[in-house]
Structure 1
Amino acid sequence: MTIVQTVKRSKLFYVTTPIFYVNAAPHIGHLYSASIADCVYRYEKLRNRSEKLLFSTGTDEHGSKIQQAAIAHDQNPMQYCNQISECYKTLFAKSGISYTHFNRTTDKKRHFPAVQHFWKELEAKDYIYKANYAGWYCVSDETFLTESQLKENEKKEKVSAESGHPVKWVEESNYMFRLSKLHGDIEHWIKSSQPIRPKKFEKVLMEYLKEPLQDISISRPIDRVSWAIPTPNDNTQTVYVWLDALCNYLQSAGYPDPKFKENWPPQLQVIGKDILKFHGIYWPAFLIAAGLEPPVRLLVHSHWTVDDQKMSKSKNNVIDPNIVAEKYTYEGLRYFLLREGVPHSDGNYSSSKATRIINAELVNTLGNLLSRICAPALNKRQVVPKCTRKELHDFNYSHKLMKKLKQLPSVYEEHFESYNFYLAIDEIVATLHLTNNLIQESEPWKLVKYPATEQKLEAVLALVFESLRINGILLQPIVPMKAQKILDKINVSPDRRSWKDTEYQLDVEHEERPLHSSTSKLIDRIK
């Protein structure tokens, strides 16, 4: 058994998305992966627990499917890859995805040397050998499958049991990776480190490991898959697309420069459940074979259905985020995905549900609250006033809200540390509901009419603004652009928007501050 050396953890937080395959334009599932990773990255930034943060994403641009897609679009492969990769960059920019590294596997200056150096490391450690190989090959999944991974479809054709894609029998000369030698290491990594979240996907990996792992092919003949990275010292073969793609995570850390170990391993890798085997078995096996630490954690998320049906080209129900963002805004869509998506189960997208949630929570509960409390008719002096606690004693909801605001950061933290973003959002929405309840109970539109109730009005305004301040800070990882609008409007200094500033502040003396003159809405009501 190979021994993995324990390395000193760096003072760095490194999160990755999968790099997205460019055989088609991005859909909401890709945006969901990126939004999760960005949400975690921004949370870590908010917590300020690391001296350095890395966030990598990118596009996977090699393999036979890319050749086929380029031909179908009447382009050469490089033109096609440039076009689709740019689609991802544009979508991510509009959706607030704040990556530090965007990798492309066609990058000959950075990615090619990383892949070929990693290959040579595996070869030097005797994990690569050449052999004649025969097996069932799935072109769509770009992988060989064993008999146990196959099934017959309704036409009595052999297909992948997991994806349903057809397979064909292939016999060829390949380079092989000695995966069989690493079965015990993978099992030990999973059991001892417990890196898989949610836990249900650990059981999926353990099912794979009930059978002995077989050596896998890690190259393809160049005459069959020419659109790929050449294997070192053999121009008749190209590197298997998955080995090629997985090296992007190393590249973002600085590989093959020896200093890359200061940034290794990733603390969190966000993946979809369809690529669990590649990231939960092949990837740690490659790393262990090379003498490197596997990732600390894999966060596996489920898929999105559309109106309770699987999203697929054949059903013509693939949701283009750019099209639906015209209705919801990009950040409105991001909010919906994080609000409705749960890692352990498939999420269901429907236009009516998205409209209802965005209108109810972003427009009514949050947006209208901000507009109402900043309106000159209610807030004549246009300030965030001081709070006189005794003036709040008459209102039941003031006590409930103060208690909720004091507890909110710790409850939010618990949910974020468990990657249950939807539960953290639940807490924020519940707090904002309490804030609106206070307004309904205190009736500030009546208090504003009389000088005798001016202090009571300002106490109510101060507590409402405190709720907006704390919730605005906590919304930064979820809807960063809208959170910035809230905090700008209520004039929270940019250097007072970190985790320590989520502490409830109305128990201590503070200066009143003027509201910002900005009048832009958080989001318009969706029809």
Structure 2
Amino acid sequence: MTRRFTITTPIFYVNGAPHIGHAYTSIAADVLARFHRLNGDDVLFVSGTDEHGQKVEQTAKQKGLATQLYADEISDSFRQMQRDMAISTDEFIRTTEERHKATASALWEKVAENGYIYLGAYEGWYSTRDEAFIGEDELVKKPDGTFVAPSGAPVEKVKEPSYFFKLSAFQDKLLKLYEENPDFIRPNGPRREIESFVKQGLKDLSISRTSFKWGIPVPHDPDHVMYVWFDALANYLTAVGYPNMNDPRAPFWPADLHIVGKEIARFHCVYWPAFLMAAGLELPKSIFAHGWWTVEGEKMSKSLGNVLDPKALADEFGLDALRFFLMREVPFGGDSNFSRRSMITRTNVELANDLGNLCQRTLSLVARNLDGVLPEHGPFTEDDQAILAVSQVLPTIMAEQIERKAITEALEEVWKLIRAANSYIDRQAPWALKKTDPERMAHVLRVLVDIIRTISTMLQPFMPDTMDKMLTQLSVDKSERTFKDLDTPLPAGRVLPKPVGLFPRFVEDAA
């Protein structure tokens, strides 16, 4: 039976243009989605934009735009970013779409029907920039005596009628969830922070606003609009057609994995499961909260002028080189630093030298010495068997790493094989065997082609365009590129096209 796999990015808030952090989250989710598809799973990959809330309304007003027009423009920029980064989403949810409004309203009504929503009044601190209510105990006092949110965002005292969600009723249920499902929140750092937050006690949550109108009206009380996070989190249900359980996408719930930045882990790991419990719906299986990106060791900020545009980086270094670097540089989950020097080094050492030279040397020798025809295997030596054993086990090892969301470690497994293959070609020296043992030369080149095929197949989720070209150079048909296809050897006699280098070295322009 085909396994279903549902993966989501957070839906991105339309308060500014996409940057490298948004691209990183999207690429990580895309790698996992592509990996599962190639592994034979039926995948639903969801992304989108979060377009409601006071901050959006204020920003649009500052720009002199109608709020919907402003949201349209920014949402389009996120769609374009994902196209630029080769993100293979199946569903892109906009919270201003009618289908989403219907889902969020249905979720509200179900939670209310079950007795977890009541009308009251909210008086306290609110951060418009964070779109979050801030408790007195969370305020940070500045040297000038004023208070800000933990993020540093300004706060203001608000008092208004509000519907409340009985979050306090779910404290013990959430702690039990975390205890019984150790993989529900990953990695361990965010998990410990969430558990600590919940153990300190949960207060009921204000989930509506009356001081502005840019939001989804509360069912049966249009003077209120839904709190932006109640609205936004419902997008994951919109993607599966909720509340229509006969929707063809309905079987894709619950989600297998929500990938989020750690700054929004609380919303996803506390509020979201509580909303779902209150509605009597199944919970997502896992939430992975990754770290932040710095640039040359400094926090990204508009004031420093160091916010990185992913499209500009892709144009300069190549899209697949950028995708590779973002997944390779730092273990997935931790904080990451974008260093131009590291980007160039990874491109030149690991892509151009390690992988590029392996492919170019092997395929050039096949073209020059075998007229580009894929040879039969000959007798296998111990050296052949050792390197092929590493190659044959690679899909299994990588699948285990991907299951653990160890994306960076999965790439390292590929590079272990690449480094081993470069050592193998140096030891076997097929250029010398041409004179002394041409049959052995042909066999060595066949072993190397088989290994490069495995490498190229397994790297498709990370570098889809380049690996498509690489597999074409190996005469691997488009119908032979899943992981299972590696069990079937390529038939001898296929003609390989003339090889073309796919991994150019990056050379900085002289100043």
What is the TM-score when the length of structure 2 is the normalising length? 0.94
8 A contact 1:373–1:379 mirrored in 2 = no
How many Å separate the matches in 2 of 1:203 and 1:453? 61
TM-superposed CA distance for 1:40, in Å, is 1.2
> 1:287: how far off?
0.4
How far off its partner does 1:517 sit? 4.7
1:187-336 alignment, distance < 5 Å: 187-194=175-182, 195-221=184-210, 224-259=211-246, 261-336=250-325
Asked if 1 retains the 8 angstrom alpha-carbon contact of 2:331 and 2:409, the reply is: no
Cα distance, 1:57 vs. partner? 0.2
Q: How far has the Cα of 1:262 moved from its partner?
A: 2.4
Shift of 1:207: 0.5
Q: 1:381 and 1:10, CA in 2 relative to 1: closer, same or farther beyond 3 A?
A: closer
Q: For 1:260-306, what per-residue CA distance to the aligned partner results, in whole angstroms no more than 9, with x for missing partners? A: 55221101111110001000000000000000011011111111111
Aligned-residue offset at 1:446 = 3.2
Q: How far off its partner does 1:520 sit?
A: 6.5
Deviations 1:480-505 (A, max 9, x none): 22221111110112232222233485
CA–CA separation in structure 1 for the residues paired with 2:506 and 2:430: 24
Pick one of 15, 20, 23 that aligns with 1:23: 15
Measure, in 2, the Cα distance between the counterparts of 1:75 and 1:299. 36
Match of 2:401 in 1: 415
* Partner Cα separation in structure 1 for residue 464 and residue 373 of structure 2: 24
2:351 maps to what in 1? 362
Give the 3-state SS of the residue equivalent to 1:266 in structure 2: coil
The 2-side partners of 1:154 and 1:354 are apart by: 39
When structure 1 is superposed on structure 2, of 115-124 and 496-505 the one drifting more is 496-505
- C-alpha contact 1:10 1:263 (8 A) present in aligned 2: no
Q: 2:163, 2:207 within 8 Å by CA — same for their partners in 1?
A: yes
Distance 2:3 2:360 in 1: 42
SS in 2 for 1:188: helix
Residue 498 of structure 1: aligned partner: 482
- Following the alignment from structure 2 to structure 1, what is the Cα–Cα distance between the partners of residues 353 and 60? 45
The answer on whether the counterparts of 2:332 and 2:407 sit within 8 Å (CA) in structure 1 is no
Task: Give the secondary-structure state (helix, strand or coil) at the position aligned to 2:260.
Answer: strand
**Any conservation in 2 of the 1:29–1:303 contact (CA below 8 Å)?**
yes
What corresponds to 1:489 in structure 2?
473
Any conservation in 2 of the 1:58–1:102 contact (CA below 8 Å)? yes
In structure 1, list runs of 5 or more residues that go unmatched: 1-8
Deviations 1:77-135 (A, max 9, x none): 22222222111112212222111000111112x11111111111111112111112101
**Residue 120 of structure 2 aligns to a residue in which SS?**
strand
Deviation at 1:399, TM superposition (A): 5.0
The whole-number CA distance in structure 1 between the counterparts of 2:369 and 2:263 is 53
C-alpha distance in 2, partners of 1:378/1:225? Answer: 72
1:36 aligns with 2:28: yes
Query: Could you report, residue by residue, the CA deviation over 1:343-383 in whole angstroms, capped at 9, with x for unpaired residues?
Result: 34201111111111012122222223222222266444112
Which amino acid is the alignment partner of residue 483 of structure 1? M
User: 1:3 — aligned with what?
Assistant: none
Name whichever of 164-173 and 65-74 sits farther off.
65-74
| 1:388 to 2:378 alignment | yes
Q: Does 1:480 align with 2:464?
A: yes
Deviations 1:419-462 (A, max 9, x none): 111111111112112212222223333334x3x53212211211
- 1:167-206 equivalences under 5 Å are 167-194=155-182, 195-206=184-195
Q: Work out whether residues 4 and 43 of structure 2, in 8 Å CA contact, stay in contact via their aligned partners in 1.
A: yes
Q: What percentage of aligned pairs have identical amino acids? A: 35
> What is the rounded CA distance, in whole Å, between the counterparts of 2:216 and 2:507 in structure 1?
47
Say if 1:229 and 1:379 are closer, same or farther in 2 by CA, change over 3 A.
Answer: farther
Asked if structure 2 preserves the Cα contact closer than 8 Å seen for 1:96 and 1:331, the reply is no
Give the corresponding residue for 1:81: 71
Shift of 1:177: 0.8
Distance 1:518 1:493 in 2: 16
CA shift at 1:411, angstroms? Answer: 2.0
Q: Once structures 1 and 2 are overlaid, which stretch shifts more, 251-260 or 365-374?
A: 365-374
Q: Which amino acid aligns with 1:406?
A: Q
Aligned-pair CA distance for 1:229: 1.3
2:52 matched to 1:62? Answer: yes
What residue identity is the alignment partner of 1:410? T
Query: Could you say what secondary structure the match of 2:162 adopts?
Result: strand
The equivalent of 2:335 in structure 1 is 346
| Contact 1:272–1:303 under 8 Å retained in 2 | yes
1:92 match: 82
CA RMSD of aligned residues (A): 2.1
Residue type at the aligned position of 2:118: Y
The change in CA–CA distance for 1:10 and 1:466 in structure 2 (over 3 A counts) is: closer
- The size of the alignment, in residue pairs, is 504
Q: Check whether the contact 2:363–2:499 (CA below 8 A) recurs between aligned residues.
A: no
How far off is 1:409 after superposition?
2.2
Does the residue aligned with 2:304 lie in a helix, a strand or coil? coil
Name the CA distance, whole Å, in 2 between partners of 1:225 and 1:385: 71
In structure 2, what is the Cα distance between the partners aligned to 1:92 and 1:430? Answer: 30
Distance in 2 separating the partners of 1:504 and 1:232: 57
> In the alignment, is the contact (CA less than 8 A) between 1:270 and 1:300 conserved in 2?
yes
How many Å separate the matches in 2 of 1:295 and 1:305? 30
Q: Which amino acid aligns with 1:42?
A: R
- Change in Cα spacing, 1:277 to 1:98, as seen in structure 2 (3 Å) is same
Task: Tell me, in whole angstroms, the C-alpha distance in 2 between the residues paired with 1:77 and 1:125.
Answer: 34
Please name the residue that 2:492 is paired with.
511
